[in-house]
Amino acid sequence: MLGTSGLEVSALGLGCMGLSYGYGPATDTAEAVALIRAAFERGINFFDTAEAYGPFVNERVVGEALAPIRDQVVIATKFGFRDGDAAGGPDSRPERIRQVAEAALQRLRTDRIDLFYQHRVDPQVPMEDIAGTVRDLIREGKVKHFGLSEAGVDSIRRAHAVQPVAALQSEYSLWWREPEQAILPVLEELGIGFVPFSPLGKGFLTGAIDAQTSFGATDFRNTVPRFTPEARQANRALVDVLAVIAARKQVTPAQLALAWLLAQKPWIVPIPGTTKLHRLEENVGATAVELSPDDLKDIEAAVLRAPVQGARYSADRQKLVSR
């Protein structure tokens, strides 16, 4: 249950971005549709997309995949970038929000958006106007729930005062724990669910990435300071100590990382993404992993022994978060 909103979803969702955007060439549409449907068959009913993923391509893929099972799934999408382009800067003007909603409904082949996130806070538009616009869309039946992504405490409170926020989506994992400081307490206070993206550290916590790994020309990890070869070499220390605990539990490092997130709060729903069926099945397996208090203490001690090196965003991207 995502907070007190009444929005119930599977313990894990599927982040669909990487099927079309961010990690290199887009996956073949038929293969992407098959993967999304495979996720549903394995118990996932919560699917995350956005107009900016492509732009627009990802919503069409998700819409095609889920059309036959629309009433059995929860679809989340997002507004908030100029012309749907993440490089274009924020744009959450009320008229733009409405345009995005109407276009997303068409691309997703649906008559309602279950969870409509503001992708990034727009400093040029009062949060009250944004929340009020989504409130109106909810009253019209085009949207069911309101969400925010990468918003700071002030924005969360201002939005929630106008239209209750069902969920906040932000990065959270064993190698990015900043939300614990101020965000998680306010979400608990207000009854807002938390949807961590990059719960596997953009793939790093799987153990499959090292200093020698090369990324494609369009892979956004090339711009992330945490993914320079030097940072990756240093950050292997964290993966290595977690791998020891995972081996003892007879699970994979990825399953351990997801199980750790699931153990933090009952209203936390990670959305790992993948393009591979075996990785999807591995991720789903994390929901069956039980971590004891001693396991959690061991993981905490391991993280303290191996602090992560490098910023999680470039300076330009960092300007758009935690407002």
Model's pTM, two decimal places? 0.97
Q: Which two tokens stand for residue 294?
A: 């001693």
Give tens-digit pLDDT for 107-133: 999 999 999 999 999 999 999 999 999
Q: Which residues form the catalytic set? A: 53
Q: Does the residue 52 lie in any domain?
A: yes
Q: 83: how many CB neighbours lie within 10 A of its CB?
A: 12
Burial of 35 (0-12, 13-18, 19+ CB in 10 A): buried
Tally of domains in the chain: 1
Q: How many CB atoms lie within 10 A of CB 27?
A: 19
Q: What is the DSSP letter of 111?
A: S
Look at strands 113-118 and 143-149 and give their pairing.
parallel
Owning domain of residue 124: 14-318
Dist. CA 211–CA 232, nearest whole Å: 5
Does any domain span residue 314?
yes
* 1 inside domain: no
- Which sign does the torsion angle of CA 37, 39, 44, 49 carry? negative
CATH code, domain carrying 195: 3.20.20.100
Contact 226, 299 (CB under 8 A): no
Can you give the pLDDT at residue 292? Answer: 97
Ordered DSSP codes for 268-292: B------S-HHHHHHHHHGGG----
Domain assignment present for residue 143? The answer is yes
pLDDT at 233: 95
Burial bucket for residue 242 (CB in 10 Å: 0-12, 13-18, 19+) = buried
- Domain-embedded: residue 33: yes
CB 303 within 8 A of CB 174: yes
Partners of 168 in the β-ladder: 148, 194
3 is a domain residue = no
d(CA 285, CA 22): 25
Long-range contacts of 135-142 (CB under 8 A, 24+ apart): 135/162, 135/163, 137/97, 137/98, 137/101, 138/163, 141/111, 141/112, 142/101, 142/102, 142/105, 142/111, 142/112, 142/113
Residues in the chain with pLDDT values less than 50? none
For residues 38 and 277, is the Cβ–Cβ distance under 8 A?
A: yes
Edge-to-edge strand ranges of the sheet holding 46-48: 14-15, 46-48, 74-79, 113-118, 143-149, 165-171, 193-197
Please state, as a whole number, how many other Cβ atoms lie within 10 Å of the Cβ of residue 213: 13
Q: What pLDDT is recorded for position 288?
A: 98
Q: Determine the pLDDT at residue 319.
A: 74
Q: What is the pLDDT of residue 55?
A: 96
277 in any annotated domain = yes
- Token pair belonging to 217: 């020309």
What pLDDT sits at residue 71? 98
